[in-house]
Amino acid sequence: FKILVINGPNLNMLGKREPDKYGVKTLAQITGELNDAAAALNVELAHFQSNSEAALIEHIHDAWQQFDSIIINPAAFTHTSVALRDALLSVDIPFFEVHLSNIHQREPFRHHSYFSDVAQGVICGFGAMGYHFALQAAVNRLQNSN
């Protein structure tokens, strides 16, 4: 299986950025650990991070028929972007939504997600472990559907 992992704006700052909320691991550490887990599951991962909504949308378009599943942390675009939601629906690739922090415990403007009602699953509040849970869930789902 091929799974695309997408991280949205400001997640390139992980490690430095509000470590009380997002942890001390850098995005490179998180993706490295995820690659190790994927290798053990015999799954191929591709990673993309951007601070640009347009770049994220175009990358999702390029995923058309290239990936079996997507794991995405849309970051702040979670709460704002109909366009990113529509991009995911347009390529018709099942996706899991991940947030490091528990968005429901935070400011009211973070409680709504434009992705959750069309995601296969939503994981939040587990820090970097959330990406691993999503990977396991995605692989499980793919194995059971084939």
Query: Is 146 within any annotated ligand binding site?
Result: no
CB 138 within 8 A of CB 3: yes
Cβ 110 to ligand DQA, closest distance in Å? 4
Q: Is 99 among the catalytic positions?
A: yes
Cβ 63 to ligand DQA, closest distance in Å? 20
> Alpha-carbon distance 144 to 138, whole Å?
10
Q: Is 131 among the catalytic positions?
A: no
Tally Cβ neighbours within 10 Å of residue 10. Answer: 14
Binding positions for ligand DQA, rule: CB under 6 A: 10, 73, 75-76, 78, 99-101, 103, 110
Cβ 143 to ligand DQA, closest distance in Å? 27
Query: Is 104 within any annotated ligand binding site?
Result: no
CB 49 within 8 A of CB 7: yes
Which H or E run contains 57?
helix 53-62
Give the residue with the Cβ less far from ligand DQA, 66 or 105.
105
Give the residue with the Cβ less far from ligand DQA, 68 or 74.
74
Query: Is 73 within any annotated ligand binding site?
Result: yes
Instruction: Show the tokens assigned to 108.
Output: 């009211």
Query: Is 102 within any annotated ligand binding site?
Result: no
Cβ 68 to ligand DQA, closest distance in Å? 23
**Which positions ≥6 away from 47 have C-beta within 8 Å?**
4, 5, 6, 7, 31
Closest to 20 in 3D by CA, of 85, 90, 105, 82 = 105
- Binding residues, by number, are 73, 79, 86, 100-101, 110
- Binding residues for substrate, by number, are 73, 79, 86, 100-101, 110
Q: Supply the residues annotated as catalytic.
A: 22, 99
